[in-house]
Amino acid sequence: MKFGGTSVADLDRIENAARRVAREAEAGNEVAVVVSAMAGVTNQLVSYVDQTSRIYDAREYDAVVSSGEQVTAGLMALRLQEMGISARSWQGWQIPIRTNEVHGKARIEEIPADNLDDRLSQGEVAIVAGFQGISPRNRIATLGRGGSDTTAVALAAALNADRCDIYTDVDGVYTTDPRIVPRARKIEKISHEEMLEMASLGAKVLQTRCVELAMNHGVRLQVLSSFEDLPGTLVVDEDEIVEQQVVSGIAYSRDEAKITLIRVADKPGIAAAIFGPLSDAAVNVDMIVQSVSPDGERTDMTFTVTKTDLDRAVETLKAHADEIEYDQLLADANVVKVSVIGVGMRSHTGVAQTMFQTLSDKGINIQVISTSEIKISTLISEDYTELAIRALHTAYGLDAE
Ligand code: ASP
Ligand code: MG
């Protein structure tokens, strides 16, 4: 069971979460709990560091910001003890959760879970501080913001858990953002692969890295609310899903910007000349389209980068204008990427056509298209975000009755 920051935001909420833990333990389950810092605490700690040291020692940053989870873990253990449940807190190093040395953004390398496992089988509930581990040099290392989800999934894998329940402030994964489409439905079951696409294409319920980890280790996830007693969304292996929808969900990302290079030379090495310097400048490139060149000499190249990378990308391309040889550089931040996702696409035809026709019926121009086996993404003007998502949601039969 993993409880995020809003689910443990104050003592009452910690008590509420502890009651859920107690219920599982009393039902005869062995329970390991991963907790986040109380809502707002990590931000506060980060700001203390920023105010103390402008270019800080990342190991000390980790020493400071990892402390929020330690507080919650201790409080949760105390609360459970008050309820008559045997429980103790565990910090990352006590298990140990071994990470690499990339402080502030460490990856978990291994979790020898024998100690923890022994205690669990003795009926003791484990409350594990999320977001932290220990580096090869015995320093506390944090996993990057939002990293407690990753702790939970990694621990579930190490313990061979039946399930990893992620308790949060929403009650599941929806077919699309309910703020845009009020008739969006809660998804009962979704495959890891689809969830991974949803997460990386803009749905913010779960971190991409945590879903990836769950997929690689076959961890069954459930996303559910800590405030309501409702079943959430199960994220499971594709084989477990009997009634597969063709399209499971629609995701969108406003964090895209489009760059077009007009009339670049059409010769070997030109893509490398464009994307090499961008990669050196740590610009993340997403969709790429190169058109055919009518004269065999010159062609246009369009691609997208994240909005925050746009200025750096444009500067980089200008600095390398001599090697790339282009006539003109156009940049447009007023775009959104809308994607439809579903493993059913592998076996059904016409899924892309439905998307194109629907957008065309609304008079929306598609600027860039990219596809994978289980998703189709289109880049359109940001002004049409809501219109496009609503129309697609209806077209794929996803609207709630
Ligand atoms: N407390 C950490 C953060 O706010 C980790 C987490 O909540 O997942 O980023
Ligand atoms: Mg969090």
The model's pLDDT over 4-17, given as tens digits with 9 standing for 90+, comes to 999 999 999 999 99
Mean pLDDT of the chain: 95
In a domain, 291, yes or no: no
Nearest CA to ligand 1 atom 9: 145
**Structure tokens given for 202:** 């803009």
Q: Indicate whether 101 belongs to any domain.
A: yes
- Asked if residues 133 and 108 have their Cβ atoms less than 8 Å apart, the reply is yes
Does residue 149 fall inside a structural domain? yes
Q: How many domains does the chain have?
A: 1
Q: Is residue 155 part of a domain?
A: yes
Q: Please check whether residue 42 lies inside any domain of the structure.
A: yes
Ligand 1 pocket by C-beta < 6 Å: which residues?
4-5, 36-37, 42, 68, 130-131, 145-149
Report the share of the chain in percent with pLDDT over 90.
Answer: 90
Residue 19 falls inside a structural domain: yes
Query: Ligand 1 atom closest to Cα of 4?
Result: 7
Residues spanned by the domain of 89: 2-169
Atom of ligand 1 nearest to the CA of 131: 5
In a domain, 315, yes or no: no
Retrieve residue 320's tokens: 């390398």
Integer CA distances (angstroms), 45 to 38, 41, 50, 135, 148, in order = 12, 6, 9, 21, 16
CA of 110 to the centre of ligand 2 (A): 22
The per-residue b/e assignment along 156-167, b for 16 or more CB within 10 angstroms, e otherwise, is bbbbebeebbbb
Q: Is residue 94 a part of any domain in this protein?
A: yes
Average pLDDT over residues 137-156: 96
The residue whose two tokens read 């490139």 is 285
Summarize pLDDT for 331-370 with one digit per residue, the tens: 999 999 999 999 999 989 999 999 999 999 999 999 999 9
Return the CATH number at 162: 3.40.1160.10
| Band of pLDDT at residue 311, cut at 50, 70 and 90 | very high
